[in-house]
Amino acid sequence: MWTTNTLEWIDIELTSFCNIRCKGCFRVISDHADKILNKTYLDLDTIKEKFQKEMFPNIKIINFHYHQ
C-alpha cells in the first residue's frame, strides 16, 4: 500500500482543463468531460501548501502536467 512515506514520485495536474482524450492517459474516454470538470488552475500557493517536502520524505520525481 502507498503512503506519503513510501511514494517516490508524484504527478501534479496544474489544471482541470482535461478533455480525457490524451493518448496514453489512464482515464476513461468520456463525451461528458467538459460537464464534469470545473476547469480551474492550481496556483503556486496551493502547491506549496499541499506538497511540502516533509510530507514526502522519499520523493524523487515530481511531474507537472498542464492541459489547455
The answer as to whether 27 is a domain residue is: yes
- pLDDT for 46 equals 92
The mean pLDDT values, 10 residues at a time, for the chain of 68 residues are 88 78 62 66 91 91 82
**Number of domains present in the structure of the chain:** 1
The boundaries of the domain holding residue 29 are 9-65
HSE-up of residue 8 (Cα within 13 Å, Cβ side):
0
Grouping H, G, I as helix, E, B as strand and the rest as coil, residue 16 is: coil
The answer as to whether 50 is a domain residue is: yes
The answer as to whether 2 is a domain residue is: no
What nine digits make up the cell of 22?
Answer: 490524451
- pLDDT for 39 equals 75
